[in-house]
Amino acid sequence: MAAATRVLARGFATAPVVGPTPRPRSPISQRPRAPAHRGAPPSVPTRCLPLQGNRRTVAVLGAAGGIGQPLSLLFKLSPLVQNLNLYDIVNVPGVAADLSHICTPAQVKGFDKDNLANALKGADVVVIPAGMPRKPGMTRDDLFNTNASIVKSLAEAVAKHAPKNAMVLIISNPVNSTVPIVAETLKKAGVYDPRRVFGVTTLDVTRARTFVAELKGLDVNALNVPVIGGHAGHTIVPLLSQNNAGATFTQQETEALFKRIQFGGDEVVAAKAGAGSATLSMAYAGAQFAYSVLRAINGEWGVTECTFVESKVHPDVPFFSSKVTLGLEGVEQIHGIGKVSAFEEKAINDMIPELKKSIEKGIAFTKA
């Protein structure tokens, strides 16, 4: 597969995603590192135990929904969480009462539609799965009309009531537009920090790991497959050539895996036959990403995830998902695309116009 890989042309960052050589750094990554990281050798990550002192406050906005409920359950089970603030416009008292009986230390509180400000107070991490899910035949972009205003109003509340250093994790679709909406809304309010706003694309990585492991008989726990670009259909680009197990794929396997990873969400939407989209796998993926953010803000060194952030990795789009190292302040280093196969290079080039359009749609909505 190495022979089949080559470096993308035209301004793409070409550094390897991992490895000891210095990488070109984005403006974000050029900010000085927090003192706690200085001198930590790359090969010896500092692992912080989830002790009482660094358990955090997590707010879930949309906590009574199909994703919100299992996601909140996973936070209730996590030793990284001290306070779990659940907000929704419906049904939140029941969800909060139910979860609060679980014998783990996280303190659960429910906040109804009049109490968003209190739900956000003191939050270290704000996770947003609020909004309508897809029904069969719908694209994520079909959700724009409903979800854009929900996400915008929640971002306005975050700007007003959440601590300035809160990390904002956006699950609501279309992520390719809702992340720019949150960024622009926070910008308008004068509190935008690009290091702290993330589109959650972890489900794409989760699917890639599962499908590749199944196909190749690999240990899924040890397998990683970066997925870059955006979070909708063809904008999802799995970098199969960068899988860490060294697995290789025929052209037929590559095409089938691309299709399944890009449209895995449709598989679930069709199987649920009108009852929604991925909720349980999304809750798992959202929790994994949030745990990574929590571990990084607790000082663990070298936590890396693929996520959709403000980025200069691709010259034609201001937001892009690629591997990102997380730190005390959120985004610490955005990694380049690295070496990709000819198939992957074409997939990236082909999807950029669609991704650009979705990003611009989000920005235009917020500016209107």
Q: How near is the Cβ of 305 to ligand NAD at its closest, in Å?
A: 13
Of residues 82-111, those binding ligand NAD (CB under 6 A): 87-90
Beta carbons within 8 Å of 255's beta carbon, 6+ residues apart: none
Q: Which is nearer to ligand NAD, 50 or 174 (CB)?
A: 174
Q: By CB under 6 A, name the one of 13, 60, 67, 290 that touches ligand NAD.
A: 67
Beta carbons within 8 Å of 50's beta carbon, 6+ residues apart: 78, 79, 80, 298
Give yes or no for a contact between 248 and 2, defined as CB atoms under 8 angstroms apart. Answer: no
Q: By CB under 6 A, name the one of 123, 203, 269, 293 that touches ligand NAD.
A: 203
Which DSSP string corresponds to 34-65?
A: PGGGTT--TTS--PPP--GGG-EEEEEETTTS
Q: How near is the Cβ of 296 to ligand NAD at its closest, in Å?
A: 20
**277 part of the interface to ligand NAD, by CB under 6 A:** yes
The pair phi, psi for residue 264, each rounded to 5°, is: -60, -35
Distance in angstroms (rounded) separating the CA atoms of residues 249 and 111 = 49
24-32, 52-60, 150-158, 242-250 -> range binding ligand NAD (CB under 6 A): 150-158
Distance in angstroms (rounded) separating the CA atoms of residues 138 and 173 = 12
Beta carbons within 8 Å of 264's beta carbon, 6+ residues apart: 203, 204, 207, 211, 278
Distance in angstroms (rounded) separating the CA atoms of residues 176 and 164 = 24
Q: How near is the Cβ of 163 to ligand NAD at its closest, in Å?
A: 19
Q: Which is nearer to ligand NAD, 88 or 300 (CB)?
A: 88
At residue 175's C-alpha, the angle toward residues 172 and 177, to 5°, is 115
Q: By CB under 6 A, name the one of 99, 125, 278, 303 that touches ligand NAD.
A: 278
Q: Which is nearer to ligand NAD, 62 or 330 (CB)?
A: 62
Q: Count the Cβ atoms, other than its own, within 10 Å of residue 75.
A: 31
Of residues 47-66, those binding ligand NAD (CB under 6 A): 61-62, 64-66
H-helix or E-strand spanning residue 169: strand 167-170
Q: How near is the Cβ of 78 to ligand NAD at its closest, in Å?
A: 19
Q: How near is the Cβ of 139 to ligand NAD at its closest, in Å?
A: 10
Q: Which is nearer to ligand NAD, 175 or 247 (CB)?
A: 175
Beta strands, E only, 22-165: 56-61, 81-87, 107-111, 125-128
Q: Count the Cβ atoms, other than its own, within 10 Å of residue 125.
A: 24
Site string for ligand NAD, 313-352 (x = CB under 6 A): ----------------------------------------
Q: Which is nearer to ligand NAD, 50 or 66 (CB)?
A: 66
Site string for ligand NAD, 158-187 (x = CB under 6 A): -------------xxx-x------------
Q: Which of 37, 101, 161, 231 is catalytic?
A: 231
Q: How near is the Cβ of 87 to ligand NAD at its closest, in Å?
A: 6
For residue 339, what are the β-bridge partners? 7
Site string for ligand NAD, 247-276 (x = CB under 6 A): -----------------------------x
Of the CA atoms within 13 Å of residue 306, those in its CB half-sphere come to 29
The question of whether 231 is a catalytic residue gets the answer yes
Q: How near is the Cβ of 48 to ligand NAD at its closest, in Å?
A: 27
The structure tokens listed for 257 are 């895996």
- Tokens 């290091």 map to which residue? 195
Catalytic residue annotation: 231
> Residues interacting with ligand NAD, by CB under 6 A?
61-62, 64-68, 87-90, 129-134, 143, 147, 150, 153-154, 171-173, 175, 200, 203, 231, 276-279, 282
